[in-house]
Amino acid sequence: MMRFFKHSLIIGIIGIAVSLILFMTNWYYELVIPVFEKSMDDGPLFTFIDYLTFYTPVILMVLFLAYIIAGRVYLKNHHLKAEQQMTEELIERNTEIQKALDEKAEFLKHKYYTNCPKCGAVREENKNVCSFCGASLIIEGSKDKKA
């Protein structure tokens, strides 16, 4: 579907231009109609074919125009969808970054024991709870003490 509409504007314009030239020069008409004239009687069917042949470029122009419009609509929707997906990905990524920043900010607000006050284990880097016993390593209410 994407491939069908990718170049619809330029193909459509060329198609309309060619149809317009066909319609104005009429050479195809001079080519086709004598064949029918020879092989059939002058009647309603001949009149119909005569008109159909004469207006074929006009029908083609309308079809090419419809092709351009359908292509524009399709590509616009396609772009909107791609844009929306990109925006969603950006929002998701921003949320993740914001969450990591919030966690970091929360972490930096406190001072920490270098050793667990409960079991004495050494605090692992960037941990706020003891990795052995799970006790909190935050020094409550103390701002001057070094972690």
Contact footprint for Zn ion (CB under 5 A): 116, 118-119, 121, 130, 132-133, 135
Q: 87 or 131: whose CB is closer to Zn ion?
A: 131
- CB nearer Zn ion, residue 9 or residue 129: 129
Whichever of 68 and 116 has its CB closer to Zn ion, that residue is 116
**What's the closest the beta carbon of residue 117 comes to Zn ion, in angstroms?**
8
Query: What is the C-alpha to C-alpha distance for residues 28 and 19, in angstroms, rounded to an integer?
Result: 11
Shortest Å, Cβ 133 to Zn ion: 3
Phi, psi of 73 (to 5 degrees): -60, -45
Q: How far apart are CA 22 and CA 30, in angstroms?
A: 11
End-to-end CA distance of the chain: 63
Q: How far is the CB of 123 from Zn ion (least distance, A)?
A: 9
In angstroms, give the least distance from the CB of 138 to Zn ion. Answer: 13
Place of tokens 């929707």: 77
Nearer to Zn ion, 34 or 120 (CB): 120
